[in-house]
């Protein structure tokens, strides 16, 4: 066994000597040459390559001279992000104005999702690199591709003085939100005006165990401007409150405040009110039927 160990050690030493002389002879002047020699890449934006003796070379991205002015440690290109997003990096003092610079988060169609400011965490009255941090908050209700854009603060407003870097990111779906349906009347969709047809619109709400109650609360808010523009309308009075909601053996019992049938008349409106409440609750698989009451009374409510 021992007679095999010595030749093995000699082979390893031979390769180590070859690597040493190759590295010693190799002339490293930029990121690409460093990558060929050492392959040690630091996770930053832009990337940095380190040689064995500790020298660092920054990757030059041809379409962004600005990378010599600003470096982003997080998020990196292609990173999955979610709200709140903390951005960290370094920028030359000239990138700031009064210790800050603008930041935008946009989708792939350049629609703005969020805006914020990178704030220097050290004295920015210098030409050296200054560390910065920023915090962006946004509603990320669905997964989508986008870009984080960091711009220099340009008080002159002159286009020739504008600089920016654009980092591709993927916005994660926020698991704290879900969609619920609320039901409204719509005369464009119910052309026969049957008074018994209602139609769903979707609302984004925070995830909760009391999701049926949350859906009803959304219903009682009435239609928003976008829904009203699409001719949705509600037969419900505003200000209706939920006293109690229970769901047992497929039966949802909902007790509501007196605003529900205040000054309510006509069989058509009464029918729509019942239908709106029933269909909003029946979207949930554990609800098969609905009993509506006002302050505990279910016999004499919603009369035409």
Does pTM top 0.85 for this prediction?
Answer: no
- The dihedral of CA 109, 112, 114, 119: what is its sign? positive
- The dihedral of CA 108, 109, 114, 117: what is its sign? positive
167 located within any domain? yes
Q: Are residues 245 and 262 in the same domain?
A: yes
234 located within any domain? yes
Strands 40-42, 48-50: pairing kind: antiparallel
17 located within any domain? no
* pLDDT tens per residue across span 197-221: 999 999 888 888 899 999 999 999 9
Helix axis angle, 211-220 to 267-282, nearest 10°:
150
Q: What is the mean pLDDT of residues 136-142?
A: 78
CATH of the domain at 95: 2.60.40.2550
90 located within any domain? yes
What integer pLDDT is reported at residue 252 of this predicted model? Answer: 96
Q: Are residues 206 and 138 in the same domain?
A: no
Q: Decide which of 171, 186, 218 is a domain's last residue.
A: 171
Q: Are residues 94 and 162 in the same domain?
A: yes
Q: Decide which of 171, 197, 220 is a domain's last residue.
A: 171
121 located within any domain? yes
| Domain count for the chain | 2
User: What are the b/e assignments for 44-81, b being 16+ CB within 10 Å?
Assistant: bbbbbbebeeeeebbbeeeebebbebbbbebbeeeeeb
59 located within any domain? no
Q: Are residues 182 and 277 in the same domain?
A: yes
* pLDDT tens per residue across span 222-276: 998 888 988 999 999 999 999 999 999 999 999 999 999 888 878 889 999 999 9
141 located within any domain? yes
Domain span at 184: 177-294
């Amino acid at each position: 066994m021992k007679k095999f160990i010595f030749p093995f050690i000699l082979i390893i030493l031979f390769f180590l000597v070859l690597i040493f002389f190759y590295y010693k002879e190799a002339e490293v002047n930029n990121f690409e040459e460093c990558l060929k020699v050492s392959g040690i890449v630091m996770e930053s934006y832009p990337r940095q390559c380190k040689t064995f003796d500790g020298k660092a070379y920054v990757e030059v991205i041809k379409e962004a001279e600005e990378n010599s002015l600003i470096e982003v440690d997080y998020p990196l290109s292609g990173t999955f992000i979610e709200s709140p997003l903390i951005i960290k990096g370094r920028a030359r003092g000239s990138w700031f104005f009064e210790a800050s610079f603008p930041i935008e988060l946009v989708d792939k169609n350049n629609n703005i999702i969020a805006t914020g400011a990178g704030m220097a965490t050290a004295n920015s009255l210098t030409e050296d690199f200054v560390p910065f941090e920023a915090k962006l908050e946004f509603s990320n209700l669905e997964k989508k591709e986008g870009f984080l854009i960091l711009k220099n603060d340009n008080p002159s407003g002159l286009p020739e003085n504008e600089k920016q870097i654009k980092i591709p990111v993927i916005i994660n779906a926020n698991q704290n939100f879900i969609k619920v349906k609320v039901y409204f009347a719509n005369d464009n969709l119910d052309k026969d005006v049957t008074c018994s047809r209602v139609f769903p619109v979707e609302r984004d709400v925070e995830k909760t165990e009391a999701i049926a109650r949350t859906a009803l609360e959304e219903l009682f808010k009435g239609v928003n401007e976008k829904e009203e523009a699409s001719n949705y309308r509600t037969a419900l009075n505003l200000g209706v409150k939920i006293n109690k909601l229970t769901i047992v053996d497929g039966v949802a019992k909902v007790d509501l405040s007196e605003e529900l049938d205040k000054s309510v008349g006509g069989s058509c409106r009464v029918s729509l009110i019942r239908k709106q409440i029933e269909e909003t609750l029946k979207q949930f698989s554990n609800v098969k039927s609905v009993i509506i009451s006002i302050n505990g009374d279910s016999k004499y409510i919603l009369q035409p």
